Structure 1
Amino acid sequence: MTSVDLNADLGEGFGVWELGNDAAMLDVVTSANVACGFHAGNPAGLARTSRAAAERGVRIGAQVSYLDLAGFGRRFIDVEPAELTAEVIYQIGALQALARSAGTDVGYVKPHGALYNTIVTHREQARAVAEAVHAVDPGLPVLSLAGSVFFEEAERLGLRTVAEAFADRAYRPDGALVSRREHGAVLHDPEQIAERVSRMVDSGQVSAVDGSTIDIRVESICVHGDSPGAVKIATAVRDRLRRDGVDVAAFI
């Protein structure tokens, strides 16, 4: 039986500002990419999200980013590799402490936002992130796009790589994600998204914005927790995959 993980970005509230419905999403997903305080999240909120994930048996991943609270981690920062490595180590360590206090562990690492997109092609920063993960724990898998230089650097160090596909984001013909600044970058219709994901998993293909068909490797599907209707989208995707006979389960 085919098995696919379903993940979402969670813990992105800050103080009195709530973003998304973490509790409802944790009832649907199998893995939670939890913010580490650099692009979003604060200690109390991250502890709360970690406890809620642990109670539901949802695996926790550290969602690491540039130090960019004001820009929600969606702005490129030309940071020195050594500094980026230290920042990623810091973020994983902070979430690991909170997760352990909640009775669970950080099980993998996923970059966020601009850092995620940058290290698809930016080798220096990709190497810096991979080296940070390896320094913390060589057994931690990393979640990102197949074919990225980040995966090349991670595999060079012996890290496990887990190929991610996006349920609610549009793809360019080269396999990269369409920038959020462009119209149509984020998809919203739950049934259409579920149908799209079904095709990704079944055939390993997805339609790009220009109508072309591109190959895609899928081990984990991401639904963004801060998207409007995120819970409905995640539920539609999970239910469709189950109807297709796919086991929706964490990859670790």
Structure 2
Amino acid sequence: MNKSSITLNCDMGESFGQWKMGNDEQVMPYIDMTNIACGFHASDPHIMSKTIELAILHNVKIGAHPSYPDLQGFGRRSMHIEPMELSEILIYQIGALKALCESKNTEVNYVKPHGALYNDMMKNHQIFEAVVDAVSCFAIPLMMMATMDNQRFLDIADKYEVPLLFEAFADRAYLGNGSLAPRSQSGAVLKHEDDILGQVQQISQYGKITSIDGFVVPIEADTICVHGDNEDSILLIEKIKQILEN
């Protein structure tokens, strides 16, 4: 694995009105890609615009971070939505960010679903196909979690001619089957410096992670994510970047 090819991405623009989440100004200089909330789990047009401007200032690629329509639950609750309607919900959100980007002479480079939608598309191929269908309208890549069996997802994406970016997480624990440990499980969100930096080093240097239940799991990632709402990992953003660059 070419370590230098692994980028660093972060979920951003997740404030809303007068309510502030994350520290986008502090983090943006250290990342390569920013996943900007599109208003359905967090953010609003003004926050989206300011986050776009911040990304432009630091030459960071902009990605749409759409979700289920769940502002109250921060997009972390699964919802049963028919595939066609789900695609329309995603096109609406991505389209909004695209228009704001174009107003500032920049563009949306990729899509990364948020929260429960992200988790659900990794478990349900019908949901994944609805997401891919929406992304195909914009002719940009879709970011998804790297798994031990990416081929099933590649086959669906190839049908719609959507490139995939495979992602791993700096600050989330994994299960032995390569999926993320549910947030309801103790230890699912990594908080300690050694755990976070150790996982980043494992991914970037060895192409693997050690699961929460002690299994070594192979994982090939194009990009590594730190969560904007995890203060512990954000405090380590500079060290994470150094690991990826060395």
The partner residue of 1:206 within 205, 209, 213 is 209
Identity across aligned pairs (percent)? 40
Secondary structure of 2:122's counterpart equals coil
Question: Which residue does 2:161 correspond to in 1?
Answer: 158
The 5 A counterparts of 1:1-252 are 2=3, 3-135=5-137, 137-138=138-139, 140-146=140-146, 147=149, 150-243=153-246
Deviates more, 1:166-175 or 1:101-110: 101-110
- Compared with structure 1, are the counterparts of its residues 116 and 151 closer, same or farther at alpha carbon in structure 2 (3 Å cutoff)? farther
> Equivalents in 1 of 2:28, 2:105: separation in Å?
16
Q: Which letter maps to 2:145?
A: L
Deviant stretches of 4+, over 6 Å:
none
> Equivalents in 1 of 2:145, 2:123: separation in Å?
11
Q: Which letter maps to 2:230?
A: S
- Decide whether the 8 Å contact of 1:119 with 1:150 is kept in 2: no
- Decide whether the 8 Å contact of 1:120 with 1:126 is kept in 2: yes
> Equivalents in 2 of 1:208, 1:156: separation in Å?
32
Measured after TM superposition, the shift of residue 150 of structure 1 is: 4.6
> Equivalents in 2 of 1:151, 1:94: separation in Å?
27
- Decide whether the 8 Å contact of 2:227 with 2:234 is kept in 1: no
Structure 1 unaligned regions, length at least 5:
244-252
> Equivalents in 1 of 2:46, 2:24: separation in Å?
14
Q: Which letter maps to 1:231?
A: I
> Equivalents in 1 of 2:215, 2:233: separation in Å?
27
- Decide whether the 8 Å contact of 1:191 with 1:236 is kept in 2: no
Deviates more, 1:153-162 or 1:18-27: 153-162
- Decide whether the 8 Å contact of 1:223 with 1:233 is kept in 2: no
Structure 2 unaligned regions, length at least 5:
none
Measured after TM superposition, the shift of residue 162 of structure 1 is: 0.8
- Decide whether the 8 Å contact of 1:189 with 1:233 is kept in 2: no
Q: Which letter maps to 2:75?
A: G
Measured after TM superposition, the shift of residue 45 of structure 1 is: 0.5
> Equivalents in 2 of 1:33, 1:65: separation in Å?
12
Measured after TM superposition, the shift of residue 29 of structure 1 is: 0.6
> Equivalents in 1 of 2:164, 2:179: separation in Å?
17
Deviates more, 1:32-41 or 1:94-103: 94-103
Give the paired residue count: 241
What's the TM-score, normalizing by structure 2? 0.94
What's the TM-score, normalizing by structure 1? 0.92
